[in-house]
A = this chain, B = another copy of it.
Amino acid sequence: MAGFFVDATSVNRLVTETAVGATEAGDEVTRFAAEVKPGWDIGGNANGGYLMAIAGRAMAEAVGRPPVTLTAHYLRPAPAGPCDIEVTTVRSGRRFATATATLTMASGQVLQLLGTFGDQTPGGPSLTREAPVDLPAYDDCEVPPPPTDGPVPEMFRRLAVRIRPGDEGFRTGNLSGRAEIRGWFAFADGEPIDAIGLLLVADAFPPPIFNTDLPAAWVPTVELPCTCVACPSRVRCVAGSAHGSCTTACSTRKERSGTRPASSSPRADNSRCIPAHPPER
């Protein structure tokens, strides 16, 4: 049976057609229908990683390979409702396929994406430059305190995120002073995390800039780039690290105030994964 997240990001392939003016074999357009489901939002607008997962799933299906590196730019808020995804395969090679995509709703275009897809066959030369994310065990991390104002977003109940002790201070008024939030990501129902799930992990931690004394209130995502160096297979927890530097894999920008970008960086390469650890339900 498909898990809750898999169901909430399912896409329905409608048609594949050769683009007008196509000059190469790979230049084709595939259209999908999908739905931005309620309950994956913060304050009525769908989470950026969730939206990227819907579009990323369509792109992966169109090119027949999982994502290696995918970048989404966010154009407008996305309330729940039907959407369509148009994937253009610009090149389909032996090892990699490159595609662009748009995700459009009734209000207009919501996402513009660009990614390269490919199977990451193990066995080639490899280099691990940094140690895995330094993080206490899942059970020793904190359940994020609920927001002090407003209801708990339904999305929070679907995830079993745990935050490194101290990093949850932005919710309790004890700012760590570091633009960094580390912790574990898991689905509350124990659903395994695959390559598409990693796209949600990329945007599942609170904006790390909240842990500084900058006057950041609203942090809309301008760009969310994700690099999947490894493709997890049925892992239940992934360690995440979100910190405030523009040069990491995922950046969010505070559009209103001109704040320097805060970033979150899901490190599939050196993250700690727990294959057998069932998260709290």
Contact = CB atoms under 8 A, between A and B. Distances in A.
Contacts of A259: 124-127
Q: Tell me what chain A mostly uses at the interface: helix, strand, loop, or mixed.
A: loop
A203 interface: no
A116 B222 contact: yes
Quickly give the copy total for this chain.
2
Interface string A232-250: 0000000000011111110
A214 to B, nearest CB: 5
B95 A73 contact: no
A114 interface: yes
A251 B96 CA distance: 15
A267 interface: yes
A215 interface: yes
Given A90-B109, A179-B129, A269-B246, A124 B24 contact: no
Contact of A114 (B24, B100, B229, B255): B100
Interface residues of A, number: 62
A223 interface: yes
B95 A109 contact: no
A122 to B, nearest CB: 8
B114 A91 contact: no
A179 B215 CA distance: 37
A75 B95 contact: no
A181 to B, nearest CB: 13
A260 interface: yes
A173 to B, nearest CB: 19
Contacts of A128: 260
Interface string A86-124: 000011000110101010000011001111100011011
8 contacts: A75-B90, A96-B255, A100-B114, A113-B114, A120-B258, A125-B258, A127-B259, A247-B267
